[in-house]
């Protein structure tokens, strides 16, 4: 047991005892062998009594070494072990089991009063399948146990196939697929995210929503609506695999965790699930109800948060896609598929469009070059014009100007301007 006083004090035991009510009649019996490993007789007795009433066969060990001896004599289907124990603790026991191939298929739940993601990651890295924080409620424990027993059957069959043994015939399902609540999803999803990352396995989920819930609520009373939800839930439970985890996230909305599955496989699983759900009409009180389902799948990415919030958001966004719809309502006829000739013509047009775009870019580059050359020529022309304006003044000499003045004087002396009929001012008649 943990050395924390809260885990061994009297108030803690009272709380733990109050967390295990008597088994309900609607809970189906569980045919499974469960080994409880804990050094506290009080906790072991409560777990044994509660799981025994559910139909489980119970074994008990005080520490890890005693548990190993019992496992060699009779391997259990599921182990519930405390973290802190003398001699060999829960983590050490888990590591030894995972190193032994003949016992690697056993489902392992480790429980502790420690909290925090670091402790959870340590437990999952050691090989634990579930991390159960103390104190816990009976419903939470049963959800983990039922989910573990669904997984362990597949592991056992795979182990028999690998070792060359003949797989045992699958017994009749005695463990029904439980439907968790929204709080169960928020508790389970971080564990699944940490487990998938520690084992480098894919993790996906898909959401399923009753899209026309508001329209149905206007025509149905509370009892008829509850009947519709129950019918939808039962069909969904019968459609999913045993190793899938189903949660009712909201009224008419479900989340399905699919461990070890890629996004493409989960998308196909969601489509098949919706197809089977709407295959038969939904009849409530003799009335056939129109049902429209929206679905959306998402897969865990490297940068997602450890709580899986981003994963849920992507699934919700995918549910808004108009293509992810299945309905019992009559839908409009889809347009005929395009012929091969139309597709080829479309490809040709796309190729021509690409070619024209490339040619346009080439022409624009040439235009820029011409504009630059034009600007350069203008600058050269301005420079030449300024030089031509200044060159005559520089080339005129004093001798040339004197000869011009002499010719002008001779002309004026031979015949003045006023005698030639020109009107000249008096100042101009003065001799030069």
Please answer whether residues 114 and 2 qualify as being in contact, where contact means their C-beta atoms are separated by less than 8 angstroms.
yes
Is residue 93 domain-shared with residue 240, that is, in the same domain?
A: no
The structure tokens listed for 232 are 């939808």
**Structural domain includes residue 301:** yes
**Structural domain includes residue 371:** no
Q: Which residues of 199-229 are buried (b: 16+ CB within 10 A; e: fewer)?
A: eeeebbbbbbbbbbbeebeeebeeebbebbe
Is residue 45 domain-shared with residue 138, that is, in the same domain?
A: yes
Is residue 238 domain-shared with residue 324, that is, in the same domain?
A: yes
- Which of 303, 331, 359 is where one domain is finished? 331
Say what the pTM is. Answer: 0.46
**Structural domain includes residue 89:** yes
- Which of 283, 298, 331 is where one domain is finished? 331
**Structural domain includes residue 19:** yes
Q: Which CATH number is 249's domain given?
A: 3.30.70.270
**Structural domain includes residue 52:** yes
C-alpha closest to that of 75 among 95, 94, 98, 59: 59
**Structural domain includes residue 375:** no
Rounded CA separation 430/432 (Å):
6
Written as tens digits, the pLDDT of the chain (432 aa) is 433 333 333 333 333 433 554 444 334 567 788 999 988 878 887 888 888 888 888 888 888 888 898 898 888 999 999 988 888 888 999 999 888 888 888 999 998 877 666 777 888 888 888 888 877 788 788 888 888 888 887 777 777 777 776 555 444 433 445 788 888 888 888 888 888 888 788 899 999 999 888 888 888 888 888 888 888 888 888 888 777 888 988 888 999 998 788 898 899 889 988 888 888 888 888 888 999 999 999 999 999 998 899 999 999 999 988 888 888 765 444 455 555 677 778 888 888 888 898 899 889 999 999 898 888 888 888 888 887 776 555 445 566 667 767 777 776 666 555 555 555 555 555 554
Please answer whether residues 79 and 35 qualify as being in contact, where contact means their C-beta atoms are separated by less than 8 angstroms.
yes
Per the structure, the complete domain to which residue 202 belongs is given by: 177-331
What integer pLDDT is reported at residue 119 of this predicted model? 78
Is residue 122 domain-shared with residue 134, that is, in the same domain?
A: yes
Q: How many domains does the chain have?
A: 2
C-alpha closest to that of 78 among 59, 50, 54: 59
Please answer whether residues 424 and 417 qualify as being in contact, where contact means their C-beta atoms are separated by less than 8 angstroms.
yes
**Structural domain includes residue 14:** yes
Is residue 147 domain-shared with residue 244, that is, in the same domain?
A: no
Strands of the sheet with 78-82, listed across from one edge: 57-61, 33-37, 78-82, 107-112, 130-133
Is residue 3 domain-shared with residue 92, that is, in the same domain?
A: yes
Please answer whether residues 277 and 254 qualify as being in contact, where contact means their C-beta atoms are separated by less than 8 angstroms.
no
- Which of 158, 176, 194 is where one domain is finished? 176
Rounded CA separation 406/74 (Å):
141
Is residue 181 domain-shared with residue 284, that is, in the same domain?
A: yes
Is residue 171 domain-shared with residue 181, that is, in the same domain?
A: no
Is residue 184 domain-shared with residue 107, that is, in the same domain?
A: no
**Structural domain includes residue 226:** yes
Rounded CA separation 29/146 (Å):
11
Is residue 164 domain-shared with residue 249, that is, in the same domain?
A: no
Q: Which CATH number is 44's domain given?
A: 3.40.50.2300
Rounded CA separation 60/39 (Å):
10
For 140, 188, 232, 255, the CA distances from 184, given in Å and listed in that order, are: 8, 6, 20, 11
> What stretches of 288-339 show up as alpha helix (H) in DSSP?
309-319
The structure tokens listed for 45 are 């007795």
Is residue 234 domain-shared with residue 159, that is, in the same domain?
A: no
Is residue 166 domain-shared with residue 215, that is, in the same domain?
A: no
């Amino acid at each position: 047991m943990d050395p924390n006083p809260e885990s061994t004090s009297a108030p803690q035991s009272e709380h733990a005892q109050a967390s295990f009510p008597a088994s309900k009649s609607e809970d189906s019996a569980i045919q499974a062998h469960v080994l409880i490993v804990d050094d506290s007789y009080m906790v072991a007795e409560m777990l044994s009594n509660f799981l025994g009433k559910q139909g489980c066969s119970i074994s008990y060990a005080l520490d890890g070494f005693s548990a190993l001896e019992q496992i060699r004599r009779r391997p259990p289907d599921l182990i519930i072990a405390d973290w802190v124990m003398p001699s060999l603790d829960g983590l050490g026991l888990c590591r030894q089991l995972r190193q032994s191939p003949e016992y690697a298929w056993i489902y392992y739940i480790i429980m502790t009063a420690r909290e925090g993601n670091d402790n959870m990651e340590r437990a999952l890295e050691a090989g634990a399948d579930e991390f159960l924080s103390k104190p816990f409620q009976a419903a939470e424990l049963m959800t983990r146990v039922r989910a573990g027993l669904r997984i362990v059957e597949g592991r056992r069959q795979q182990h028999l196939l690998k070792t060359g043994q003949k797989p045992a015939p699958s017994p009749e399902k005695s463990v029904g697929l439980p439907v968790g609540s929204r709080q169960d999803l928020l508790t389970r999803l971080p564990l699944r995210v940490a487990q998938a990352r520690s084992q480098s396995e894919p993790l996906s989920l898909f959401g399923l929503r009753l899209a026309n819930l508001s329209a149905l609520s206007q025509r149905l009373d509370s009892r008829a609506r509850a009947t519709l939800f129950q019918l939808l839930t039962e069909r969904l439970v019968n459609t999913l695999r045993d190793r899938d985890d189903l949660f009712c996230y909201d009224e008419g909305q479900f989340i399905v965790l699919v461990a070890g599955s890629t996004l493409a496989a989960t998308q196909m699983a969601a489509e098949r699930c919706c197809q089977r759900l709407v295959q038969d009409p939904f009849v409530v009180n003799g009335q056939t109800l129109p049902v429209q389902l929206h679905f959306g799948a998402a897969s865990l990415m490297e940068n997602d948060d450890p709580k899986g919030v981003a994963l849920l958001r992507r699934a919700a966004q995918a549910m808004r896609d108009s293509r992810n719809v299945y309905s019992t309502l009559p839908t409009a006829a889809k347009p005929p598929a395009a012929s091969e000739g139309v597709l080829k013509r479309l490809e040709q047009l796309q190729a021509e469009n690409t070619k024209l775009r490339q040619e346009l870019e080439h022409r624009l580059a040439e235009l820029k070059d011409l504009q630059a050359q034009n600007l350069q020529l203008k600058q050269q022309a301005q420079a030449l014009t300024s030089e031509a304006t200044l060159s005559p003044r520089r080339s005129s000499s004093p001798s040339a100007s004197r000869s011009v003045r002499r010719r002008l004087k001779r002309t004026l002396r031979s015949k003045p301007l006023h005698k030639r009929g020109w009107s000249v001012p008096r100042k101009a008649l003065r001799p030069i």
